[in-house]
């Protein structure tokens, strides 16, 4: 089930940039390659932020159960890849009026 959430997060990020008011206006004005880089950067920030928060004392308060270990870091990289795949596939599948 966790894998589904990883892919779903990537899809939701792509849809956020495509359809959320004001964000989509800014996003539509970008060049196609730069759009992909923005999606990549945002995905890295989200995945890195989640893992980074797991290394703080606030992790328990935020409901983050991931431990701050090297195994968790490698798992975060796998999650990042899944999110990137999902966001890029969603971007390609969007109607051309949104790209």
Domain that residue 65 falls in: 2-92
Query: What pLDDT sits at residue 77?
Result: 92
Token couple for 60: 């328990």
Query: What pLDDT sits at residue 99?
Result: 63
Does residue 43 belong to any structural domain of this protein? yes
Q: Are 40 and 15 in contact (CB under 8 A)?
A: no
- The model's confidence at residue 81, banded by pLDDT at 50, 70 and 90, is very high
Higher pLDDT, residue 86 or 64: 86
The answer, yes or no, to whether residue 98 has pLDDT greater than 70, is no
Domain tally for the chain?
1
The answer, yes or no, to whether residue 87 has pLDDT greater than 70, is yes
The answer, yes or no, to whether residue 24 has pLDDT greater than 80, is yes
Q: How far apart are CA 65 and CA 59, in angstroms?
A: 7
The structure's pTM equals 0.78
Does residue 98 belong to any structural domain of this protein? no
Does residue 36 belong to any structural domain of this protein? yes
Does residue 9 belong to any structural domain of this protein? yes
């Amino acid at each position: 089930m966790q894998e589904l959430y990883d892919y779903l997060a990537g899809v939701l990020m792509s849809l956020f940039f495509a359809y959320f008011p004001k964000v989509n206006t800014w996003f539509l004005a970008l060049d196609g390659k730069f759009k992909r880089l923005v999606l990549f950067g945002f995905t890295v920030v989200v995945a890195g932020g989640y893992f980074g928060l797991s290394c703080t004392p606030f992790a328990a308060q935020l409901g983050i159960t991931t431990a701050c270990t090297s195994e968790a870091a490698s798992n975060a990289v796998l999650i990042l890849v899944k999110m990137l795949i999902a966001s890029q596939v969603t971007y390609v599948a969007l109607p051309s009026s949104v790209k």
